[in-house]
Structure 1
Amino acid sequence: MDVQRSEDSATNSDSSSPMKLLFVEMGVGYDQHGQNITAAAMRACRDAISSNSIPAFRRGSIPGVSFGEMKLQIKLGVPHSLQTSLDIEKVKSVFPYGKILNVEVVDGGLICSSGVHVEEMGDKNDDCYIVNAAVYVGY
């Protein structure tokens, strides 16, 4: 399966052939206190990549592909009303290596009650923000 790159020049500096997809990592992130959608998105991305190791890129297991050729595409499910508050650059900072080709934000995630409003923790209300992440890894 090939994943097409975005044509958005801000997130994709070249327009060569589609990324060769190796695998997809998925995660969920929450912000229960403080109502920060970026924190929830960063947690979702960390969740997606936290239990995986990718030795194939470092060990040369893919013929003709070096570590520097790892490419990532990130897709985030974020509640529509919060998408403009999302700091994409902070979300990108979660990834320690790999060229990020695209970050796509789609309607998704959830706003629900955490059951408690704790002002001392920065709460504005009792909302809990939930974000879903899919991280596509390839070369």
Structure 2
Amino acid sequence: MEAEQSTTSSGGSSPLINLLFVEMGVGYDQHGQDITAAAMRACRDAISSNSIPAFRRGSIPGVTSEQMKLQIKLGVPHSLQQSLDIERVKSVFPYGKIVKFEVVDGGLICSSGVYVEEMGDKNDDCYIVNAAVYVGY
């Protein structure tokens, strides 16, 4: 992997942030067998249906948007973790300081049911990644 991987296996978030909420998502790469693409989709899925006006409007006394902190936890099939480009995954987040990025065994490799060479397929594998994004300050 291109960045540090945490070995923490706890189910919750650490006290690195004052936790406000958790966003969850799932990402797939059905063609091309790119685990980073699946992870980026999982993170986009987690954050795409939310708006966080509290940081911009001063709803939390003494906290500004510059103080938003994120902890990212990805469930990735063990055999693919070394192929994950964490810096590309981090680029999905438009703001907030990532204070922890953790990759754990999870996700899934399954058959997509079809091999399409024109779409970059090496085989018919589909990669699935789960994401939890912890948001706080």
1:100, 1:44 → 2: CA distance? 16
1:123 aligned residue: 121
Aligned to 1:4: 14
**Alpha-carbon separation, structure 2, partners of 1:91 and 1:30:** 14
Ranges in structure 1 where 5+ consecutive residues have no aligned partner? 6-17
Task: Report the aligned-residue RMSD.
Answer: 1.0
Give, in whole Å, the separation in 1 of the partners of 2:75 and 2:13.
18
1:81-92 alignment, distance < 5 Å: 81-92=79-90
Unaligned runs of 5+ in 2: 1-11
| Structure 1 segments (4+ residues) deviating >3 Å | none
- Partner amino acid, structure 2, of 1:136: Y
Q: 2:37 aligns with which of 36, 39, 50?
A: 39
Distance in 1 (CA, whole Å) between partners of 2:13 and 2:105 is 19
Give the alignment partner of residue 102 of structure 1, picking from 100, 103, 106: 100
Which letter maps to 1:3?
S
Provide the rounded CA distance (Å) in 2 between the counterparts of 1:113 and 1:53. Answer: 35
Deviation of the 1:4 alpha carbon:
2.1
Q: Which residue of 1 aligns with 2:55?
A: 57
TM-score scaled to structure 2, two decimals? 0.90
- In the alignment, the residues of structure 1 paired with residue 101 and residue 118 of structure 2 have an alpha-carbon distance, to the nearest angstrom, of 33
Q: TM-score, normalised by structure 1?
A: 0.89
Partner secondary structure for residue 59 of structure 2:
coil
Q: How far did 1:102 drift? A: 1.2
